[in-house]
Amino acid sequence: MSGKIYYNGNIVDRENAKVDIEDRGYQFADGVYEVVAFYHGEPFTLNEHMERLVFSASEIDIELPPAEILIKEAKNYIKETEYADKNAKLYVQVSRGVASRSHAYPDGMEPIIIMKAGPLDPNPEKYFQEGVKIITLPDERWSRCYIKSIALLPNILAKKKAKKAGAYEAIMTRDGFITEGSSSNIFIVEDETIITPPATNYILNGITRQTVINRLAPELNYEVKEESIPYYTLLNTDQVFLTGTTTEIMPVVQINDKVVGNGKVGKETKEIFEAFRELTGFVRGK
């Protein structure tokens, strides 16, 4: 494997970026992460992602350098890679660090911050134009999902179930209400109003989600409501879409065996999708 990796302030060759067997990220999933998109070398909402990374870390008692420093480091690192002017996906991971295995971590540990740039690998254009299928399943995660933790077992198992069912994503339900996807947030559209579950501790407050709520919907003059969505409302609504850094704005036209609305991408969803594309300046094939 080739390429350059950011490792605690240094840029090293991929083969020299090694994980210690007593790294707590490796042994306990004791860490947090971010995924940031770069469009033609330009970071998209990098500040928001790095601020969330610092926040996630502080929620699990890891102190990171200020977001401004991490933002600079990320930009400098991308310039040193083959993705300097390309569409890219930046993976940023923080581990609490290395210590002899014991559940309670020692005081004063040095966190390990790594960054890895890779291709953005956007979803096929057909998905965006025609919509995708999702499945639903119970949310089996812990109660602090607002932290972007690297402990993702329930999420990866849910995504695998979705793939096996020929679906793009698995949407999780808790106590009869929908929470979010295994790696995306969910919206519905009812009477021209955009509705999404509130940013409680049971979901990750996605940066793409916030972009829709605070930027795209207001620009398009759509009202947004952050309110709990019963599972049965989801099944009977006319429009559904997902948001996420790698998902972007993804229309949903089938939930389990049920077709959503008339099975076509709805007007509001299409407008939000197009506004997002314009914002990111993402042109296919470039």
Give the interface with ligand PDD as residue ranges (CB under 6 A): 35, 155, 180, 183-185, 204, 206-209, 243-246
With respect to ligand PDD, which residue has the nearer C-beta, 87 or 185? 185
Q: Is 85 left (phi over 0), alpha (psi -120 to 50) or beta?
A: alpha
With respect to ligand PDD, which residue has the nearer C-beta, 29 or 35? 35
Give the three-state DSSP class for 215: helix
Pairwise CA distance, residues 212 & 269, whole Å: 11
Shortest Cβ 141–ligand PDD spacing (Å): 8
With respect to ligand PDD, which residue has the nearer C-beta, 90 or 253? 90
Shortest Cβ 210–ligand PDD spacing (Å): 8
Q: Which residue is at the shortest CB distance from ligand PDD?
A: 206
- 148 catalytic? Reply is yes
Of 75, 148, 225, 267, which residue is the catalytic one? Answer: 148
Using alpha carbons only, what angle is made at residue 23 by residues 20 and 29, rounded to the nearest 5 degrees? 135
Shortest Cβ 127–ligand PDD spacing (Å): 16
Q: Would you say 179 and 172 are in contact if contact means Cβ atoms under 8 Å apart?
A: yes
H helices present in the chain, as ranges: 24-28, 46-59, 67-79, 125-130, 153-164, 207-211, 217-219, 231-235, 267-280
With respect to ligand PDD, which residue has the nearer C-beta, 12 or 147? 147
Shortest Cβ 50–ligand PDD spacing (Å): 12
Catalytic residue set: 148
